[in-house]
Structure 1
Amino acid sequence: MSASLSSVLFTRGADRVYFAALLVCLFYIFCTSGPIPIPFRENVGSPGPLQSQDTVSADDNSTSVAEGFDLADVFKEEQASSKDVSDIFSAEPWVPPQVTDLDESRMEMVEPYITAIMDPKDKYFDRLQCPHPYKNRYKGLRRRRNLSSKFETGPKQYFFALNLYECAHVLPRLLGSVVEAIRLLRPEDCVLSIVGGRSTDGTTEILSRLRDEMEAMNVTYYFSTSDIDPLKQGNDRITELAKLRNLVLDPLIRQPELYDPDATVIFLNDVSICADDIMELVYQKEFQRAHMTCAMDWVDYGDTFYDSWISRSMTGDMFIEIPQDGSFEFKHNLFWNDPVTRKRFDMKLPIQVYSCWNGGAAFTAKPLLKDNVTFRASYKDECYMGEPTLFCKDFWTLGYGRIAIIPSVNVGYNDDESRHVKEKHGYASSTIFETEKVEERSTEIQWKVTPPELVKCEPDWVHPSWVQWDQASKDQEPFDWTHSGYFNADKGEENEGGLIFD
């Protein structure tokens, strides 16, 4: 009897052990499996992939949809295969370049800069004061993770890129805002890539010391230096600038397997920018389903739009009026021949353009990872243009034409300039509140799927012409512009707009 009872109890105990083991296995499978894919939602009347219609979007008079907008709806689960990039990039392992011109004697000046960059409350420097970004607005940009992925390193989602030279004065504000944006986006999902060099003001030393802080945050950090000098006598400025921009993108395009194929590149100039400016560029890229979003950069304390040589509207013309004699007497007259665009600009609403950069841009990495798009100089028989203009042109050629400026994002090239810029044009956060909450305006863009047939060619301000938007796209024959006389250091002088021409 006792033996039979013992046998029954043993059997029941074993069943409990087996059942408990089964529960453990099921829990393990649940935790280690990936998240349930969320299908890409194509909303009728919302910006989406290129369609056959001329425009896509909702009526501008409709109420804003930003309040209920969930950014998770626009992140695609369908990703490009590794084969898409296997034929483009070298099979040899990529070795990050090194810092070659570090001056140890300047290291003693570094710590106040590092403290300011890492602590937004630090008051050591008289930098531009910035508001806190709206966390609820931008929380959808932070990639969702399941229990297991919180402990894993997934593909990188955000790639911050900067070329920095002799700009220590702006680093506390610029990199302080970059760090704040990275914290909002999740450090593990971010890469910070910086190329410097030739600086004598401590820029190189500050950026070198920053590595310890970035690694402590779990941010992937690349910093190297280059001796490329776009203004060196005999160099073609645009060719050299393109080289520098491509160097800072090297960690992305040489290691595509480390990145989400739909990753976002945030490429910033040496500007005094706030974290809400950065976050709004990224947000509008996702909300509008844009391929690129750009800021607006200003000089003369916010009176003059700066990046006029680069930018073109959807009329194909420049943002500002430049008469035949090349003078800047009408430099305050933005979008003078495009009343619809001017109205949207005055209302601080996003606007589709042919090309832009304007101190900083957020753009999809797909054309870089799948189609080997890089920054470049003009081809033979192609209008001499800036490398960002040509970058946008190549986006259009491949069907990535949803390019927009975000008039709520306004920046200057030092803290004092940016203070005046913000006073004149507003902070991003306050403009967003006024436009979307108070005035309840729709911010959606009615996307055009075809570029302007003709684009203004301004190689030197005094020889303007109109050219086909896809000029030289078929042959794509490289050309040496060193002796062209266009914007070259060996033959140039500055005009009243601050740009060099022959």
Structure 2
Amino acid sequence: MYQQDRYAPLEPSYGKGINTNQSTLPHFKPRHHLKYMIAINLFNSETVLPTLIRVLHSVLISLDPTRFHISIYENGSTDDTPSLLFLLAQILDRMGTGYTIISDPSRASGWAPKKRIAGLAEVRNAAMAPMYEAPEGTFDRVVFINDVHLCEADLLEILLQHEVQEADMSCGMDYKELRIKEFEAQGYPLLFYDVWVARDMLGLPFYHIKYPTGDWVLPSPVLPHSPSRFRHQNNLPFQVFSCFNGVTVLDASLFLPPHNLRFRADNGSDIHSECYIICSDIWETMAPWDLEGKVNERAPGGEGRGARIQVVPRASVGYEVGEYERARQDRNTTSFEKEGWQLEVALEEEMVKWEQWPPRLVQNYPYAYWGSQKEMPPY
């Protein structure tokens, strides 16, 4: 019930016969005009596809199937992934949802030496092709979902928070068990996974990584040195420099003129993840000034406000069913169950106070080698 009330503004029927002006908070504004493209890359994903199909069916039915286009690019799978995608296509046909599903058996899995990131960027752009090729105004938001397990509430939460916070990019949090022998006896710790990509507003990774050895301090809480750790601990959204984290919502306008951003590799190399680079490009696009101290004329309207990239901790996902069951936050609805002024206070606490400037330097690990720590400009 509480989740139904929380996510009602996303539904087509919201606002009919009720007063939607009961609060000045953005949580209560109708969002049923938005059009979404959901982009997914898959390879040998037969274990996760039943989850994704169930969640997509439920969310699309709730929010109106005609507001969505599903774009999936799969290549080289040797399991039942293509068969399950055929089933998904039949379901989407009956729902009236547009889709582009490409299953390419001719493209082998794996990457050429030193071309992994270029290959990943290429398949992400393949999934994004309907966005790039559609007339302007066709889509408002892009939702990128990795091969993860999640529930409807995770997806609805990140969709809602993206609008509430007026974000450019919103990420969930993905988790994976650290299955190494040292932890076998005491139980494998559940760790935040996308460490190579994610950086807080100090430019720091989400775990402490010793320099120059590259050793992780584990087990460790997430964001041990970040002012954002308190918001993370309380399941409140917080601003970051970069993220992707298994499930991500982005403004479609970033990929359209005049910005025309694309997933890419850094000069064709594997030095940075394509997901880190897209965040860096968003900051460069939205920055008030460029690195030479000149007004950023690329920014919308010539007035850069800084990139609004956030992590939404309540939207937690896992790469295995057991990992998701340990990570999921959708059962924790304490803040939803308040009423009156207490609810107003709780919703006000959710609001992110956006910083305009990126970190002066970002701590990076070129080629995902933890011993190669280097501080680098944000873009």
TM-score for both structures, normalised by structure 1 = 0.60
- 1:46-80 deviation per Cα after TM superposition (whole angstroms, max 9, x unaligned): xxxxxxxxxxxxxxxxxxxxxxxxxxxxxxxxxxx
* Correspondence for 1:192: 70
Matched, 1:412 2:318: yes
- Residue correspondence of structure 1 range 50-449 to structure 2 within 5 A: 134-142=3-11, 157-226=35-104, 227-228=106-107, 231-234=110-113, 236-257=115-136, 259-260=138-139, 263-300=140-177, 303-324=190-211, 325-330=213-218, 332-338=220-226, 340-370=227-257, 371-379=259-267, 384-399=271-286, 401-422=307-328, 426-427=329-330, 430=333, 432-433=335-336, 437=343, 440=346, 442-449=349-356
Going from structure 1 to structure 2, the CA distance change for 1:466 and 1:295 (only over 3 Å counts) comes to same
Going from structure 1 to structure 2, the CA distance change for 1:176 and 1:287 (only over 3 Å counts) comes to same
- Asked if the contact 1:277/1:428 (under 8 Å) is kept, the reply is no
Q: Give the deviation of 1:434 after TM superposition.
A: 6.6
Q: Structure 1: how far apart are the matches of 2:124 and 2:313?
A: 24
Uncovered stretches (5+) of structure 1, i.e. residues with no partner:
1-131, 147-153, 471-502
| Runs of 4+ with deviation above 6 angstroms | none
Q: Give the deviation of 1:439 after TM superposition.
A: 8.4
- Asked if the contact 2:3/2:336 (under 8 Å) is kept, the reply is no
SS of 1:271's equivalent in the other structure is coil
Q: Structure 1: how far apart are the matches of 2:375 and 2:13?
A: 47
* Correspondence for 2:303: none
* Correspondence for 1:82: none
* Correspondence for 1:42: none
Q: Structure 2: how far apart are the matches of 1:136 and 1:257?
A: 32
The amino acid of 2:237's aligned partner reads P
Q: Structure 2: how far apart are the matches of 1:199 and 1:246?
A: 19
Q: Structure 2: how far apart are the matches of 1:364 and 1:133?
A: 27
Q: Give the deviation of 1:307 after TM superposition.
A: 0.5
The amino acid of 2:247's aligned partner reads G
Q: Give the deviation of 1:466 after TM superposition.
A: 0.4
SS of 1:272's equivalent in the other structure is coil
- Asked if the contact 2:246/2:317 (under 8 Å) is kept, the reply is yes
Q: Structure 1: how far apart are the matches of 2:263 and 2:125?
A: 6
SS of 2:175's equivalent in the other structure is strand
The amino acid of 1:456's aligned partner reads Q
SS of 1:298's equivalent in the other structure is strand
Q: Give the deviation of 1:135 after TM superposition.
A: 2.9
Q: Structure 2: how far apart are the matches of 1:269 and 1:209?
A: 19
Q: Structure 2: how far apart are the matches of 1:200 and 1:415?
A: 21
Q: Give the deviation of 1:136 after TM superposition.
A: 2.7
SS of 2:39's equivalent in the other structure is strand
Q: Structure 1: how far apart are the matches of 2:8 and 2:330?
A: 20
- Residue correspondence of structure 1 range 25-44 to structure 2 within 5 A: none
Q: Structure 2: how far apart are the matches of 1:188 and 1:266?
A: 15
Q: Structure 1: how far apart are the matches of 2:6 and 2:261?
A: 31
SS of 1:160's equivalent in the other structure is strand
Going from structure 1 to structure 2, the CA distance change for 1:229 and 1:450 (only over 3 Å counts) comes to farther
Q: Give the deviation of 1:179 after TM superposition.
A: 1.8
Larger-gyration structure (1/2)? 1
Q: Structure 1: how far apart are the matches of 2:47 and 2:135?
A: 34
Q: Structure 2: how far apart are the matches of 1:241 and 1:275?
A: 27
Q: Give the deviation of 1:430 after TM superposition.
A: 2.5
Report the aligned-residue RMSD: 2.8
The amino acid of 1:417's aligned partner reads E
SS of 1:169's equivalent in the other structure is coil
Q: Structure 1: how far apart are the matches of 2:189 and 2:316?
A: 9
- Asked if the contact 2:76/2:109 (under 8 Å) is kept, the reply is no
Q: Structure 2: how far apart are the matches of 1:313 and 1:160?
A: 26
- Asked if the contact 1:455/1:467 (under 8 Å) is kept, the reply is yes
Q: Give the deviation of 1:359 after TM superposition.
A: 0.8
Going from structure 1 to structure 2, the CA distance change for 1:302 and 1:404 (only over 3 Å counts) comes to farther
The amino acid of 1:449's aligned partner reads Q
Q: Structure 2: how far apart are the matches of 1:145 and 1:168?
A: 36
SS of 1:200's equivalent in the other structure is coil
- Asked if the contact 1:195/1:248 (under 8 Å) is kept, the reply is yes
Q: Give the deviation of 1:231 after TM superposition.
A: 2.8
Uncovered stretches (5+) of structure 2, i.e. residues with no partner:
16-31, 178-187, 287-305
SS of 1:398's equivalent in the other structure is helix
The amino acid of 2:310's aligned partner reads A
SS of 2:48's equivalent in the other structure is helix
Q: Structure 1: how far apart are the matches of 2:250 and 2:362?
A: 22
SS of 2:210's equivalent in the other structure is coil
Going from structure 1 to structure 2, the CA distance change for 1:291 and 1:253 (only over 3 Å counts) comes to same
* Correspondence for 2:20: none
Q: Structure 1: how far apart are the matches of 2:321 and 2:2?
A: 19
Going from structure 1 to structure 2, the CA distance change for 1:258 and 1:403 (only over 3 Å counts) comes to closer
- Asked if the contact 1:321/1:331 (under 8 Å) is kept, the reply is no
